[in-house]
Homo-oligomer: A and B are copies of this chain.
């Protein structure tokens, strides 16, 4: 009796302990979930996007709720809902790209499917599945192989997938279903309607242009490089009286550009689908953006090396006359990069950048003559000489970024001139007068 009671107490405490652990775990998971939701929801565009998608699905489901609509399409109406869900992407470019790919691929695949059906029918009932199977095999294999072509992969990958899908569906189901023509045309119509719902809501309700994102990201990346140089100068070369505070968080924002190549390329590919927010328009020179970005990335490699070099060697002593020149050089380089960022923002040639670059070059000459006339003891000259080389190298890269931006400004001006039917005066003047 006593033993039983004892066991009961043990079981009770065991259960209580287990429940407590489960409760703790669930509580922890819930807190993590709330934190995650908060951090994801910090970008309100994500919440708006979710509501847009849900509205588009609800709109497409009216095909089911309203009898007259349902009577004309029947069960094919489901393809409108499927299309909305599959086609609706975060950005306008991606949505238009997917919608067009889906519509064009459906019509091409459907047509080829019918052709196959009639061709196979010529061979009589017995050979029909054989011929159908062989044709489906060949077309699917060729289309799958074509998905590896780089030019196809970049913009028409989804279209090729849907082409294979529609072609197989029409060709194979024609074997059992005599009404396949009606079915296929209904399906095509509902896909067109679904695509239109998705694309319209995507464009007309708080649109998210991926072109804008790419533009802003590039401007930010170049600004981050400028910020690094500014803070870097303040951290290592300011005079001892200086009390400037160095912001380490904003100093290291440049790191994102190091690995941004692939995402920028896919953004540029999607941006090509966009009819464009007011300031860009079709045929915007996205390729120039990638050029600027890749030369900015070359800057970032140098910046990375500079950053780690001084972090690892923070006990090194640099003489104050060098420090002044280094500080001036960092400041001028940062100003040049800020000019470039501003020029990208306005899509105009960076007018004042070359002045800053020239001034930075003058300081490198000062540095060289200081180095040549200075007497160093032992290994003292290594860090100073290294910094001079790295900064000169960085300056070359900054010059290239400015050149690429100048090109972008010229091309963009030309495009604007074309679209206005007149030549716009060079934007340089604007910038100089500002």
Contact = CB atoms under 8 A, between A and B. Distances in A.
Contacts of A270: none
B393 A53 contact: no
B36 A149 contact: yes
A119 interface: no
A85 B164 contact: yes
B51 A141 contact: yes
Contacts of A51: 141
A54 B146 CA distance: 13
Interface in A278-316: 297-298, 301-302, 304-305, 308-309, 312
Q: Specify how many copies of this chain sit in the oligomer.
A: 2
Contacts of A64: 172-173, 175-176
Contacts of A86: 161, 165
B381 A309 contact: no
B140 A65 contact: no
Interface string A56-79: 011001001100001000010010
A305 B85 contact: no
A133 interface: yes
A65 B305 contact: no
A169 interface: yes
B309 A393 contact: yes
A64 to B, nearest CB: 5
A413 B390 CA distance: 42
Interface in A149-169: 149, 151, 161, 164-165, 168-169
Query: Residue among A51, A129, A149, A382 with the most chain B CB within 10 A?
Result: A382
13 contacts: A53-B144, A54-B144, A61-B132, A70-B176, A78-B169, A82-B169, A85-B161, A85-B168, A86-B161, A259-B262, A305-B390, A383-B389, A385-B385
